[in-house]
Amino acid sequence: VRFFGNVEIIRLCNVMKLRCALCITAAFVWVVPHMAAQGSTGIVISQVYGGGGNSGATLRNDFIELFNRGNQPITVTGWSVQYAAATGVSWNPTLLSGVIQPGQYYLIQEAQGTGGSVSLPTPDLSDNINLSAIEGKIALVSNATVLSGAAPSGSQIVDFVGYGSANAAEGSPVAALTNTTAASRQSGGCTDTNNNRADFNVGSPAPRNSHSALNLCSPPPAPAPTINSISPGTPTASGSN
């Protein structure tokens, strides 16, 4: 057992206080909302636009676009896309149906404004959620259960996009949008580093539906070779063989 003088005891206490303060600070930073998609289905949110029908907008409707960046068709019947305000805790769902093929887009038409002059391409699904043109949160969910809370989590969340001053996102939110700009996932939807700010560009909306040209992110795996028959050649002999 080692005994310490008063000066040593004070010095040790100060060191321990510093360590405790660092631990408390680290714990505080850790709880900042940071979303990460848990699913590995290949379906992602590829484009978000909330300025439909607003002042200066060309398109009449808001929309959410999905994309299959994988190599297998995915059935989305029973899934949902859900929207909440940038700092909101209440979520509005749109129920999905159908199958999205590899490299295929899926267009979800949402609320129509009073302005605009151009309709969206024929949507694969229509609903009436009014997306914010500037900031908000959108989750792709593998069931129809309505989310709750500012930063919901769980394996049911397949993809998540925050934009503007959203208080939850994968990595950092996409920059704020406007009545004439959309958030579009890079490489036609193929880029996915789980960081919204890095994965999306902000530019003019360009909605795509299931009839748009396919965009295969990687070639499908080559089929394994099979042997159908073996035909030996004619044997020959020469010399002493």
* pLDDT tens series, the chain, 241 aa: 444 444 444 454 444 444 444 343 343 333 335 565 544 459 999 999 999 999 999 999 999 999 999 999 999 999 999 999 999 999 999 999 999 999 999 999 999 999 999 999 999 999 999 999 999 999 999 999 999 999 999 999 999 999 999 999 999 999 999 999 999 999 999 999 999 999 999 999 999 999 999 999 986 666 677 777 776 666 666 666 5
Tokens 């939110």 locate to: 173
C-alpha span between 176 and 163 (Å, rounded): 6
DSSP 170-199: BSSPBPP--TT-EEEESGGGT---S-HHHH
Largest CA distance in the chain: 103
Cα 34 versus chain centre, distance: 13
Residues 6+ apart with CB under 8 A from 95: 78, 79, 80, 144
**What residues are paired with 192 via a beta bridge?**
none
* pTM value > 0.85: no
C-alpha span between 156 and 189 (Å, rounded): 21
DSSP 54-103: STT-SBSEEEEEEEE-SSS-EE-TT-EEEEE-TT--B-EEEE--SEE-TT
